[in-house]
């Protein structure tokens, strides 16, 4: 027996989280229906704006990220669009898109510790970074190869403040930024911003990668379509890009 609270389908009748599908269509924006699916309740006006902004912030980052690269290379081999998009999705992992999940987990755990021990944000940030340093780990959601001030973070944090969504997790992320600034200044990247905001919105950290995935899937579709319709098939590396550093040539008798 299968049980689900998500939707009910009967002949000529579809209900999603209690709402008739035909009433959602054309009335409730996609991002809000996504919120409804994963939270079980409709977002209020502020949450609806925030979730839409989060999805848009993840939508694309050009050809270079592993998922887009993978999707375009697979598309160039002549497979159907869903297979190429799936190849991109398969590249989303702990290092690409995964900082949202791990960042949200760490922020959620340390906000609990902070409240239990009545530490300040500054104390909590210091203890958290010392703990990560001891484990030789980096703080997910901080640093960026390209952006010194990730424009997506700035906008998301402005919105979270204006919409009064920002709470303890965002404050802790800003306290961490202050701590980093005492040594090597590191920006909060878009993954770190999403991690803090979804935590303040009450989402389980286990959903972290979902927010990246739902946005980036649209970007992957655009890239796969562009690859299929504008590029020569079968992308490959040229020989000059590959260095062989295996054993020297030898005869079978040796
Ligand atoms: C994104 C990332 C790979 C970019 O790295 P980069 O700008 O190329 O920087 P490097 O990996 O060369 O690191 C430079 C220094 O900053 C430190 N650093 C970088 N990001 C750090 C982080 N998130 N936490 C702690 N220290 C960090 C490194 O330890 C290194 O220190 P060192 O010079 O004393 O050795 C890196 O910041 C990182 O691993 N971040 C965490 C994962 C993450 O958020 N990923 C999502 C990216 S959108």
Q: Which two tokens stand for residue 42?
A: 């409709």
In the reported structure, the alpha carbon of residue 157 is separated from the centroid of ligand 1 by a whole-number distance in angstroms of 21
Res 94: pLDDT? 82
What are the chain's domains?
1-43 (no CATH), 45-232 (1.10.230.10)
Residue ranges of the chain with per-residue pLDDT less than 50: none
Q: Check: CB of residue 147 under 8 Å from CB of residue 189.
A: yes
Strands (E) located in the chain? 7-10, 13-16, 19-20
In the reported structure, the alpha carbon of residue 184 is separated from the centroid of ligand 1 by a whole-number distance in angstroms of 10
Res 10: pLDDT? 96
Q: Check: CB of residue 144 under 8 Å from CB of residue 192.
A: no
The protein residue whose alpha carbon is closest to atom 42 in ligand 1 is 140
Atom in ligand 1 nearest the alpha carbon of residue 142: 23
Q: Check: CB of residue 32 under 8 Å from CB of residue 193.
A: no
Res 249: pLDDT? 92
The protein residue whose alpha carbon is closest to atom 41 in ligand 1 is 140
Res 72: pLDDT? 97
Which mutation among 100, 138, 184, 211 tests ligand 1's pocket best, with the greatest number of atoms within 8 A of CB? Answer: 138
Res 254: pLDDT? 60
In the reported structure, the alpha carbon of residue 143 is separated from the centroid of ligand 1 by a whole-number distance in angstroms of 5
């Amino acid at each position: 027996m299968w049980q689900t609270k998500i939707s009910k389908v009967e002949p000529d009748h579809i209900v999603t989280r209690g709402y008739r599908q035909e009433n959602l269509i054309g009335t409730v924006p996609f991002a809000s229906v996504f919120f409804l699916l994963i939270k079980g309740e409709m977002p209020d006006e502020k949450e609806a704006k925030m979730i839409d902004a989060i999805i848009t912030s993840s939508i694309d980052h050009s050809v270079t990220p592993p998922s887009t690269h993978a999707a375009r290379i697979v598309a160039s081999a002549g497979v159907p669009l869903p297979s190429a998009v799936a190849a991109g999705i398969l590249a989303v992992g702990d290092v690409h898109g995964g900082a949202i999940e791990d960042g949200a987990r760490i922020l959620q755990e340390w906000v609990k510790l902070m409240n239990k021990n009545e530490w300040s944000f500054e104390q909590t940030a210091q203890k958290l970074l010392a703990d990560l340093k001891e484990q030789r780990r980096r703080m997910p959601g901080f640093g960026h190869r390209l952006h010194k001030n990730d424009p997506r973070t700035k906008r998301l944090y402005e919105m979270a403040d204006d919409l009064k969504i920002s709470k303890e997790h965002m404050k802790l992320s800003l306290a961490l930024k202050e701590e980093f600034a005492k040594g090597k200044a590191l920006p909060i990247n878009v993954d770190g911003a999403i991690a803090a905001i979804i935590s303040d919105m009450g989402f389980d950290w286990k959903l972290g990668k979902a927010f990246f995935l739902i946005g980036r899937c649209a970007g992957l579709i655009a890239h796969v379509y562009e690859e299929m319709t504008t590029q020569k098939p079968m992308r490959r590396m040229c020989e000059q890009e590959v260095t062989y550093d295996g054993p020297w040539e030898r005869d079978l008798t040796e």
